Structure 1
Amino acid sequence: MKSSHELRVVEEGETGTCDTMTMEGDERGNESTEEENNDRSSAGEDRLIYSIEDTPPWHLSLLFGFQHYLTMFGSTLGIPLLLSVELCMSDNPVDVGKLIGTEFFVSGLATLVQTTFGSRLPIIQGASLAFLEPSRAILRSEGACPSPLSVNATEEDFEMRSELWRSRMRLLQGAILVASLVEVVIGFTGLIGFLLRFIGPLTIAPTLCLIGLSLFQTAAKFAGINWIVSGTTIVLIVIFSQYLGRITLPIPAFSSNKKCHVIRFPVFKVVPVVLSVIVAWILAAILTATDVIPEGSPGRTDYRSAVLQDSPWFYIPHPFQWGFPVATAAGVLGMMAGVLASTVESIGDYYACARVSGAPPPPKHAVNRGIGMEGLGCILAGFWGTGLGTTSYSQNIGVIGITKVGSRHVVQAGALFMVVLGSFGKFGAFFATIPIPIIGGMFCVLFGLVASVGLSNLQFVNLNSSRNLFVLGVSLLMGFVIPTYIKDNNDAINTRFPEVNQIIIVLLSVNMFVGGAIAAFLDNTIPGTLEERGLVSTKHKSSSQTLEEDGALSKCYDLPFGMRRIRRIGFFRHLPFSPTFQGFRVKNYCHRPAKRNGRASVKYDAVTSTQGDSTNKTADT
């Protein structure tokens, strides 16, 4: 989380962001430190072209929106392709294309809901890796996939295989639907502030780290099909994103002021994955044409070429397209681990997105509403059947920082691209033909970045403390040891109740659940100071959230309609997701005798505590 000073001074360079009235500049001008002044000067150098409330011309909105679409493309494409293997969809490539289209379609819907009614920040929603490991654990409990069908398989055999993967998908749908209700409740009731008291950096770091590290076997399996293609993908992503990231290329542009002109655009830094996939795909086509890649290998570009012919031109995803969801206790509890990990990760994304888009720090009601709407997005994913929940994409926040375009309408234009292109059957079918080694190369980089994002939370922790090293080391190692043992010994759990056995097996098979649970228990029970545990930074967060109470009213977090009525009716001030919400207040009256005019009288102190605020306000009544 960012400090209150870092978040408050973002984009002072006349960006015209939210309709904001900040009093701290005049009231506390004498208290600003040299560090704050340096932050202000650096913020002034990075001026936004379009801030969060601005509306660019329609053609620029479409252009920048398509850029956001390309940025989230790699992650959103790879995850359903990986899940399709666990779903036993190898004999149904046409359905794989439909699954890809459904993922993009639902991501667009979730983004529109989040930017319109949720946190109102320009933040993209997409498939979450936090749900992948719980989904795989649920599917593993249903047994391994059968061998691929032979060339002589009948139409009835293909129908049976289709029903097999659909039944497995329905299990994931039911688990996501029920588990996502927890995220909805956590968000709209404001419970997230209470839960964060027990979830610190030492819990978040191993949880997110295990999400990426636990998938290394899949990345190695996919990449190992052809290391020439996968290695090329990895090398290109590294070169484009790290070595050529600062290089800008001339691109023609048009504006009402400058008319036709040329701008310099950091294309390698914005879409390195897309460029790498295109080049690697061309290389795979050359190796296929020269038969360097043998016939029948998943590394060939013609391995699934029939999918394009068999897929319809238009396929609009719809709810329950795979059948009616089925929920099991084991599946729901396992999926809750993904819900909690995704929730904690998204809160940090809200503060980062607010900073780069020129908005003030998100107030309590915006965070609560954002988490609630992310839960609603996961429910949409459960209805439509993507097999995974949705979450905020941090890579698109980086795009805002690069392009200096933080407009909410641009992200909504990107969401429209997801919805429209997700409705074209040929679109999903085309990317279902992507050679598997290219996907493996993408995973090698993507999973490593996920692990490193988890480790970045340790910047707040005292790593010279033997206590913290113990918590981190034990939770990370046990996050691998216990799930590995359970996967190899499913009969090790025997409580004489099959349902209970399945629940325990699914939970203990999820690496991030085991590691996160152990880290949370040790971090909250082993003695240690707040500073040592890295929890001091949460105070900065709470102080930044009191801006609303200090007189900084941020209209960019208001709902798009109905605000007059909401402000007029006092009841809405008590709803955690209402723009007029100012925190929970619980009064505790302490008896204290006081003398008045020579006579004993009774005087009371009203102690008011506010959600997310560690300071108590005392007033005499």
Structure 2
Amino acid sequence: MTNTAHGAYADPNETPPMAQAIPLGLQHVLAMFASNVTPSIIVAGAAGLAFGGPEQVYLIQMAMLFAGVATLFQTIGFGPVGARLPIMQGTSFAFVGVLAGIAATQGMGVALTACLIGGVLHFCLGAFIKSLRWLFPPLVTGLVILAIGLYLIPTAIKYAAGGAADFQMAAQSFGSLKHWSVALTVVVVALAVKFFAKGSLSNSGILIGLLAGYVLAFVLGMVNFAAVGKAAWITGITPMPFGFEFNLGAVIAVTLVCVVSAIETVGDASATTKAGAGREATDNEIAGATYADGLGTAVAAVFGGLPNTSFSQNVGIVGMTGVMSRHVVTIGALFLIVCGLLPKIGAVIASMPLPVLGGGVIVMFGMVAAAGMNVLTEVKMNRRNMVIIAVSLTAGLGLNLVPTAVQYLPGVVKTLATSAVAPTALVAIVLNLVLPEDI
């Protein structure tokens, strides 16, 4: 696709000919597909759900289905809901650390209930999101994103080496050459395609890397298609599949991440209008994007889906192609919805061996951390800001790595203190407000 920025399709309400619109819509899906389904696989593993089992397959289906539904909230919208911009929604990595911890200790019912309530509160942020932005300058948002990436990196290494949980590390095959050869194949192919190919092929680098690793794993006898054969071709969806279980600590932790997610969505809405039309996003577009973000998260949680957020990588596609049409992204959303209703597709994804997924998330989680560092480049590195970075990261990551250090705290406070993201955000916000600017 050639760059036609601010050209014939700089208006969100215009639609290219279908011969162009369909490939452009699929390009948006390819750029986010791997990142969209990965959080569900990780949280399912943390919850102890069988790898490749029907519950994990269902969670993968819901990730695809409600990424599509949430995207329609953004591109088509109704009332105040939706930016009506080409914003692709997907399952958010920002929530993985918090939800994996909740799912591992309290179960998927508590995790998804927290997502439902957090999504409703996230939706309410749309009414006054503009007035909250001052609490989240680049110093705070950059730190939170960096903490998320750093927290997730050990999980990537565990997956690449062939294990999803600590007890699996004792297995003889953990860390074997076979596992690492598959994981490194994914990394090498993904990077080669990303940096030596062009256009939509380049944007699909991680997906192509995963496919290459999948093929190698199949050749090495690591792929089991038994679940694919048992999966139905089409199925319905189940409200609250893991039940409704309220836990205040879990709700607070998820809601804090929802606030950060809302701020990221505001940034993506602004970046989309700048990239595609050379203008600032309007107040209505920013509020609509936030409403859609929260509604998408709440609706997904009702049926077993994890929280949704805008996908920043898709902003790059808008800038690269210059096609600002929201209807192009609507086509991509419809494709995701179809995939989400076909359990066979979910079962194929769930059959992906852990080292294949590990190779992909080594790149993806590293990129999350790098994105946080990129945001921090906007921050002046004086003594004040360096102290905030040091103390916030130490509090967030340190307590997460040594949870027994706060084992005597009440349940709600302990959940927050060991979630990595919540303490990093809270410490950064408080220090940014109270420390003087002139040190």
Partner of 1:126: helix, strand, or coil?
strand
Choose from 210, 215, 220 the match for 1:282. 215
String of CA shifts for 1:533-552, please: whole Å, max 9, x gaps.
xxxxxxxxxxxxxxxxxxxx
> Could you say which residue in structure 2 is the equivalent of 1:50?
9
What is the aligned partner in structure 2 of residue 507 from structure 1? 416
CA distance in 2, matches of 1:208, 1:395: 15
Q: Which letter maps to 2:391?
A: V
Aligned to 2:237: 317
Alignment partner, residue 317 of structure 2: 399
Partner of residue 260, structure 1: none
Confirm or deny: 8 A CA contact 2:47 2:104 kept in the other structure: no
Q: Which residue of 1 aligns with 2:292?
A: 373
Task: Please show how residues 177-576 of structure 1 align to structure 2 within 5 Å.
Answer: 177-187=116-126, 189-190=127-128, 192-225=129-162, 226-242=179-195, 244-245=196-197, 247=198, 266-288=199-221, 300-302=222-224, 305-320=225-240, 322-358=241-277, 360-386=279-305, 388-463=306-381, 465-486=382-403, 488-489=404-405, 491-493=407-409, 501-528=410-437
From the superposition, tell whether residues 470 and 510 of structure 1 become closer, same or farther in structure 2 (CA, over 3 Å).
same
CA contact (8 A) 1:48 1:406 kept: no
Q: Could you say which residue in structure 1 is the equivalent of 2:103?
A: 139
Contact map agreement 2:273 2:281 (CA 8 A) in 1: yes
Counterpart-to-counterpart distance in 1, 2:61 and 2:230: 15
- 1:428 Cα offset (Å): 0.7
- Say yes or no: does 1:108 pair with 2:30: no
Which has the larger share of strand? 1
Cα distance change, pair 169–318 in 1 and its aligned pair in 2 (3 A): same
Deviation at 1:411, TM superposition (A): 0.2
- CA drift of 1:47 comes to 5.1
Contact 1:201/1:460 (8 A) holds in 2: yes
Does the 8 Å CA contact 1:223/1:441 hold for their aligned counterparts? yes
Q: Deviations over 1:296-319 (max 9, x none)?
A: xxxx112xx210111111123243
Distance 1:60 1:268, change over 3 A: closer
In structure 2, distance between residues paired with 1:390 and 1:318: 18
Distance 1:284 1:196, change over 3 A: same
In the alignment, is the contact (CA less than 8 A) between 2:194 and 2:202 conserved in 1? yes
The answer (yes or no) to whether the contact 1:141–1:506 under 8 Å persists in 2 is: no
- Distance of 1:196 and 1:406 partners within structure 2: 25
**In 1, Cα distance between equivalents of 2:101 and 2:351:** 26
1:42-121 aligned at under 5 Å gives the runs: 46=5, 48=7, 50-51=9-10, 52-90=12-50, 93-117=53-77, 118-121=82-85
- Higher helix share goes to which structure? 2
* Cα distance between partner residues in 1 of 2:407 and 2:317: 48
For residues 79-100 of structure 1, the C-alpha deviation after alignment (integer angstroms, 9 at most, x for no partner) is 1111110121126612222211
Percent of matched pairs sharing the same residue:
27
Which shows bigger deviation, 451-460 or 109-118?
451-460
What amino acid is aligned across from residue 287 of structure 1 in structure 2?
A: L
1:173: how far off? 1.9
Question: CA-to-partner distance for each residue in 1:205-232, whole Å, 9 max, x for gaps?
Answer: 1111011110122111100121100011
Residue aligning to 2:172? none
RCO higher in structure (CA 8 A, sep ≥6): 2
Residue 177 of structure 1 deviates from its aligned partner by: 1.3
Task: Find the aligned partners of 2:229 and 2:205 in 1 and give their Cα distance.
Answer: 30
1:126 and 2:126 correspond: no
Number of residue pairs matched?
416
Q: Contact conserved, 2:5 with 2:276, CA < 8 A, in 1?
A: no
CA deviation digits over 1:34-71, x for unaligned, max 9? xxxxxxxxxx9845453322112234322221121111
Partner SS state of residue 402, structure 2: helix
Pair 1:440–1:69, CA change in 2 (3 A): same
CA–CA separation in structure 1 for the residues paired with 2:151 and 2:138: 19
Rounded to whole Å, the distance in 1 between the matches of 2:239 and 2:286 is: 28
In 2, are the aligned partners of 1:315 and 1:423 still within 8 Å (CA)? yes
Aligned residue identity for 1:422: G
Structure whose CA Rg is larger: 1
SS in 2 for 1:141: helix
> Which amino acid in the other structure matches residue 223 of structure 2?
T
| 2:244 counterpart SS class | coil
Aligned to 1:184, the other structure's residue is in SS state helix
Which of residues 169, 173, 185 is equivalent to 2:112? 173
| Pairwise CA distance, 1:138 | 1.5
Aligned equivalent of 1:602: none
Structure 1 spans left out of the alignment, 5+ residues: 1-43, 143-167, 248-265, 289-299, 494-500, 533-621
User: Is residue 207–residue 516 contact of structure 1 (8 Å, CA) maintained in 2?
Assistant: yes
Q: CA deviation at 1:406?
A: 2.1
Work out the CA distance in 2 between the residues paired with 1:340 and 1:93. Answer: 33
Tell me how far apart the structure 1 counterparts of residues 281 and 51 of structure 2 sit (CA, whole Å).
47
What residue identity is the alignment partner of 1:116? I
Q: TM-score, normalised by structure 1?
A: 0.64
Q: Distance in 1 between matches of 2:251 and 2:239?
A: 20
Q: Distance in 2 between matches of 1:467 and 1:92?
A: 48
Verify the 8 A CA contact 1:170 1:385 in the aligned structure 2. no
Cα deviation code 1:367-424 (max 9, x no counterpart) = 11211221111111111112x2100001111122223322111100000001111111
**Gap runs ≥5 in structure 2:** 163-178
Q: Deviations over 1:109-148 (max 9, x none)?
A: 0000111221111010000011111112212333xxxxxx
The answer (yes or no) to whether the contact 1:314–1:423 under 8 Å persists in 2 is: yes
The CA RMSD over aligned residues, in Å, is 1.9
Partner Cα separation in structure 1 for residue 376 and residue 368 of structure 2: 14
What amino acid sits opposite 1:341 in the alignment? V
What displacement does 1:518 show? 0.9
